[in-house]
Amino acid sequence: MNKTIGIILFVSIFAFSGQAYTEETAETIDHSGHNMDHDDHSGHNMDHDDHSGHNMDHSDHSGHDHSDHDDDHKLDEPMDHSMHHSEDDHSMHHHGDHHHHDDSHIMDHEGGMIMGQNFDELPSSCDSISEEIEITVHAGREYANKFPGTVFAFDQQEWRVKPCSKITWHFVNDDEVRHQFMMHGLPRYLYGNGMFHLESTGPRTISGTMIVPASDETYLVHCDIAQHMEKGMKGQLVVGDGGEDLTSIPGLTPYAFPDTYVAEDLPQVSVNDDEDTISEQVTEFLNDNSPITLLMFIGIILGLIIMPVISRITLLRKKEPEEST
Amino acid sequence: MPIRYFIAILAFCSLSSAAIAQTSLKLPETVKVSPEALNTEPVCDPKIAASWREEQVIDGVKIQASNRCSPDNPYLIAAAVKGTNNISMGTLMETHLSADTIIKTDDIDGDGDPDRIIIKLEVMELNGPSPDFEGLIPTFDIAPGIQPGAWVFAPKTRGMSTENFESVRANALLRLPSPVIRVEQGDIVQLVLENTHYLPHTIHLHGVDHPYAHADGHVAGGDGVPQTSEMFLMPGEKRIYEFQARQTGTMLYHCHVQTHTHLAMGLVGMIIVEENRPNNWVQTLNVGAGQVRHPSVAIQEEFDQEYDLHYHAMDKEMTEIIQKYNDPRLIARDMNRLYDITDATEDYYMLNGLSFPFTLRESIVTVEPDQKIKLRVANTASETLAMHTHGHKATITHYDGIEQNPIAQIQRDVYALAAAQRLDLTLDTTNDGLNSYGEGLWLFHDHREKGITNNGMNPGGNVSVIAYKNYLNELGLPIGQGADISKYFSEEFHARTLPIWQDLDEVGTLGAAAGQSGLDPAASTDLYNLLAGLLLGIFIYLAIVKRQMITQVASQATSKLKGSKGSTNNE
Ligand SMILES: [Cu+2]
Ligand SMILES: [Cu+2]
């Protein structure tokens, strides 16, 4: 029974992720050339993304936020110039320099971050890159809606890729707060602390590229902002056949330490007066005034069973002395 | 059975009862806990670079010396003074700040300092639960091993919540109390709240001049009250609170959603409006409160030093609610509906987010003779605070940011602060027997005695020290004449398993008593009873086994009696 459910779940998950995968490869065309990483002025491009994000906000929200965003904008502008030429920042944006893993830490003017980026260094287990793919990941509160008891989530909880694939992740933050796409457990000789990390400070997209090793492995993907993973923003990257599943991935794997739930006695809508039929009145009357309680009912049943037994015993007793005399 | 066995048993019983009596005379030994058995952390956090204590200039920002164990990160101060938009990438990387946390632009009045200030705050949970393991994350100890669940406003952060990927300890920006915010009178301030937490929150500017609605009709933020002035700010949303303060003073900001719990959980901080001066780059954030290492121009005109002292208290049971469940619905149920603050008592008393002994690391007021020191004191606990300074009588200059008539300003050594009240004190270290009694290590603390406990155990709570420089070592540690303080830095002390008086003398007169080595009176009575029972049992056994003999003896005896009776009758 459990096994069959498990198999069904597994198959459906597989089907889902397969579907998502095809969607993403379709998007590849749109993202061709991944501008952000090749362009010297990637910072500016990101700002453009941000502007569009703001514009979207204007249309989404009712008037009251309007002027605030305007103000926010004006003030953000000068900062871009002042920070643009800080040496570290600038040089790290040149893709031409090659991103060595020791200086693969990129931070832009608004705090968006790419860490552990790797365009061309093959994991030792790979002879060549098996395929180049792009995956778009959305993060935000809305994706938690389908998982009761969570507040933040990614749009998908699992991504499946071939061993040795080169993946460009487009991390889209749909919230107005910071979110992260942080992957752990990668080979340390390629990725600092074994991490690949994208961080988006607000409603904008951050992209980064990495290459996965050859072994079948399942990698943790989460947002490390306090309580974001715990409250749902968690997923796994399955390379090849994958390794062991992680715990507490919404809709995918059970919680290691689940809460206990007890239904509350919450107020409920009372029965509508129009539908107050005679039968309902009778049941209600009986409910309120019935002389027969459950215990009394049990007593009656007991009485019905016990009485014949007792009478038989007494009959037997009567017979016995008769026979003996 | 031969009679000699019976005698042997009797002898054994009497001997053992004597032994029982002997052992119950002696009281248990004193047991001493070895220091090696303790989980003690160094009094001074060794991770902090010694250079952080020095007076220095970073990115053109002058930073005062801070001779204490855990001085504020000077790079963080530089970023807070200039804004994250005006510092070098190198400086920014020395902090956990996001590049857009503090944005300072536009010298509108042309007096040499920026007048448009954007400050971005996130909402962070400390010591929260995890569905993946039994511990808490990210952790923040208010005292060794004491980790109450808490919520704070935190400067917008970059990267991991923890110190590094191997640690569960919160990074330096995520801590109690919510940071002190400093702005200049007349600044156009946008306080941007980015709700990174899983519950709704808002900001209420308590005592700070802010519009309910802006003159041109646009609403920026509001008064923070969901029932009247604005909507709940839901998870993942941001809101901008815009204000231009016309009046100066020591004020507060706090969440106004379910204030009875949200404020108590730590969503409250000090906000200070400094007087307008030319070239007045104020330290926009004072993370962890305490010493202001870059005081405003107006403060420097009058004072040698400035300190922000934020007193807070928390109910243990309340802080445990968020650790009991992972599901936000269950947390909301307990927080909103089951928790009854009228039945609650506060258990943890904190100064600048820490309780003794951690207060000694960073919340000491370090002074030299003949100084004038500005103390800005806020009480955000739910009860009145009775702050007391040993060795000093300070002058109360301001209540709730309003200057007291100078003629009517009073000197006290106990300062009462009602809930949410602020006092500005001037501490004068002139040794005249009134302002100061001279150099030393002088305590200052809450004089409601529960305030100097951690969950009812002393020493603890909001105790700290006014420390004269000559009484501090090079690490900024008080050179005490009193007891060794290192044991207070053990988890065992706070877990109440360390008998703190064991080292008062060599023999440990007031140490812990071992368990009963002999027998306590109840046990010896039990043993007596057992022995008596044993004897009785033997008697009964004998009676049954030898019943024939007994009946024979008995019948012989009765027949003898009868015989004698009969003979007498017959006679
Ligand atoms: Cu997140
Ligand atoms: Cu709140």
B270 strand-pairing partners: B252
Do the Cβ atoms of B431 and B438 come closer than 8 Å? yes
Closest partner CB to B165 (pick from A193, A227, A230) = A193
The pLDDT of residue A56? 32
Work out the number of other CB atoms within 10 angstroms of the CB of residue B439.
17
B147-163: pLDDT as tens digits: 999 999 999 999 999 99
A88 chain-B contacts, CB cut-off 8 A: 89-90, 93
Contacts of A278 (CB under 8 A, 6+ apart): none
- List the domain boundaries for chain A: 2-23+283-324, 41-239
For residue B138, is the peptide bond before it cis, meaning its omega torsion is within 30 degrees of 0?
Answer: yes
Mean pLDDT across chain A: 71
Closest partner CB to A76 (pick from B103, B194, B330) = B103
Do the Cβ atoms of B389 and B413 come closer than 8 Å? yes
B2-46: pLDDT as tens digits: 567 767 777 776 777 777 666 667 788 899 999 899 999 988 877
Provide ipTM, 2 decimals. Answer: 0.86
Query: Which of B478, B489, B459, B366 is CA-nearest to residue B43?
Result: B489
d(CA A229, CA A255): 12
Q: What interhelical angle do A42-60 and A66-84 show, nearest 10?
A: 170
Q: Quick check: A226 and B156 CB within 8 A?
A: no
A66 chain-B contacts, CB cut-off 8 A: 218
Q: Quick check: A176 and B124 CB within 8 A?
A: no
d(CA A86, CA A104): 16
Work out the number of other CB atoms within 10 angstroms of the CB of residue B560.
10
Classify B99 as helix, strand or coil: coil
Mutation to test the B interface, candidates A58, A66, A68, most B Cβ within 10 Å = A68
Amino acid at B314: M
C-alpha B197 – ligand 2 centre gap (Å): 9
What backbone phi and psi angles, to 5 degrees, belong to A135? -125, 130
Tell me the nearest-neighbour CA distance from B127 into chain A, angstroms: 9
Following DSSP, what letter does each residue of B233-268 receive, concatenated?
Answer: B-TT-EEEEEE---S-EEEEEE--SSHHHHTTTT-E
- Cα B345–chain centre separation: 15
d(CA B95, CA B155): 11
Amino acid at B509: T
- CATH code for A41-239? 2.60.40.420
- List the domain boundaries for chain B: 2-28+516-570
Closest partner CB to B238 (pick from A82, A176, A264) = A176
Residue-by-residue pLDDT tens, chain B, 571 positions: 556 776 777 777 677 777 766 666 778 889 999 989 999 998 887 778 889 999 999 999 999 999 999 999 999 999 999 999 999 999 999 999 999 999 999 999 999 999 999 999 999 999 999 999 999 999 999 999 999 999 999 999 999 999 988 899 999 999 999 999 999 999 999 999 999 999 999 999 999 999 887 767 666 677 888 877 788 999 999 999 999 999 999 999 999 999 999 999 999 999 999 999 999 999 999 999 999 999 999 999 999 999 999 999 999 999 999 999 999 999 999 999 999 999 999 999 999 999 999 999 999 999 999 999 999 999 999 999 999 999 999 999 999 999 999 999 999 999 999 999 999 999 999 999 999 999 999 999 999 999 999 999 999 999 999 999 999 988 888 877 677 788 899 999 999 999 988 988 988 899 999 987 666 667 777 777 888 888 888 778 877 887 788 788 778 777 776 666 554 444 4
C-alpha A112 – ligand 1 centre gap (Å): 13
Query: Which of B184, B182, B254 is CA-nearest to residue B224?
Result: B254
d(CA B217, CA B260): 31
Q: Across the 325 residues of chain A, what is the mean pLDDT of every consecutive 10-residue run?
A: 46 42 34 34 34 33 36 34 34 34 69 92 96 98 97 98 98 98 96 95 95 97 98 98 96 96 92 60 58 65 72 66 47
Token pair 């597994």 is at which residue? A10
Query: Which of A54, A289, A19 is CA-nearest to residue A176?
Result: A54
The pLDDT of residue A294? 65
d(CA B236, CA B234): 6
The pLDDT of residue A281? 61
d(CA A201, CA B254): 23
